Amino acid sequence: MEIVYSLLFVLIGFSLGLIGGGGSILAVPVLVYIMHYAAQVATGYSLFIIGITSLIGAFAFLKRGDFSLEAIIQFAIPSVASVFCVRKYLVPNLPDVFFSIGNFDVTKQVLIMVVFAIVMFFSAITMIRTGKNVALKNLMWDEFYKMPFRVPALMLLGALVGLLSGFVGAGGGFLIIPVLILFARVPMKKAIGTSLSIIAINSLIGFTGNIGTIAIDWKALIVFSVLSVIGIFIGMYAGKFVSGKKLKPAFGWFTLVVGVLIIVKELIIK
């Protein structure tokens, strides 16, 4: 089984390196359903693994100058504050059982995984629609960019993404990139580098909120992260020969199926 676990974490990094996202979409289900970690622990571990892997991936963009420092500051500051508070104060204090319907208990585990599945649905739709080259009304967003309330709106979105990322242990790249392109008018190439930087900052600082609230197996966590980093290098190399854009819709459909399976597992098959 150790070989299977290793390959899965390499695959997590591979998806980040090849298509620029999807790592956390794989990490949490692997940790919960295959390695049998509790949802709270799995989402915390996912933040660390995705944070380290995104940081490595971001270096290539940072070296080329393909990032927007202004967008990182405006988006990351409220996002980091939000994700840290969620991991430090909200998630640990959720009740173990919210309510019961007959013999079915809505537990913390069920809530986290169902919300995670919903996030997967939105992520899947984003990847599938991206593959179809959905046109944007650029003129409308250019006008919005000139408005004085653009920065507060961007900061509010950063806080909301941080809240969601902290709760489900996801990097949130599928939300961050559209926000950067539409609200901050960051070009696509810079948006990817900026997004990876924000994911790394969010995830790693968010993970520190877990210290003292969950038991952390540092040895296992570092091994998972190293395997994922190996995967991102393989994915970045494979990207020279295979178009990540062409694979995004297929990965989107895969994500949709996994999301459905999580809903079935948590709400139907107990």
CA–CA separation, 33 vs 54, rounded Å? 23
* Tens digit of each residue's pLDDT (9 = 90 or more) over 155-176: 898 899 889 888 888 767 777 8
Exposed, middle or buried by CB within 10 Å (0-12, 13-18, 19+), for 38? middle
Model pTM above 0.75 = yes
Angle between helices 69-85 and 173-182 (to 10 degrees): 140
List residues bridging with 107 in a β-sheet. 97
Asked whether 173 and 201 are in contact (CB, 8 A), the reply is: no
* Tens digit of each residue's pLDDT (9 = 90 or more) over 227-259: 988 988 888 788 777 766 677 787 788 888 888
> What total of structural domains would you count in the chain?
1
CA–CA separation, 217 vs 41, rounded Å? 10
Asked whether 47 and 207 are in contact (CB, 8 A), the reply is: yes
Asked whether 198 and 50 are in contact (CB, 8 A), the reply is: no
Which positions of the chain have pLDDT values less than 70? 19-24, 130-146, 171, 243-245, 270
pLDDT at position 139 is 57
pLDDT at position 128 is 79
CA–CA separation, 249 vs 180, rounded Å? 21
DSSP state of 92: G
Asked whether 141 and 152 are in contact (CB, 8 A), the reply is: no
What is the full DSSP assignment across 119-156?
HHHHHHHHHHHHTTT----HHHHHHHHTSTTHHHHHHH
CA–CA separation, 255 vs 270, rounded Å? 22
Contacts of 241 (CB under 8 A, 6+ apart): none
Q: Which domain holds residue 142?
A: 2-267
pLDDT at position 222 is 93
CA–CA separation, 227 vs 30, rounded Å? 14
Locate 145 and state its tokens. 């960019």
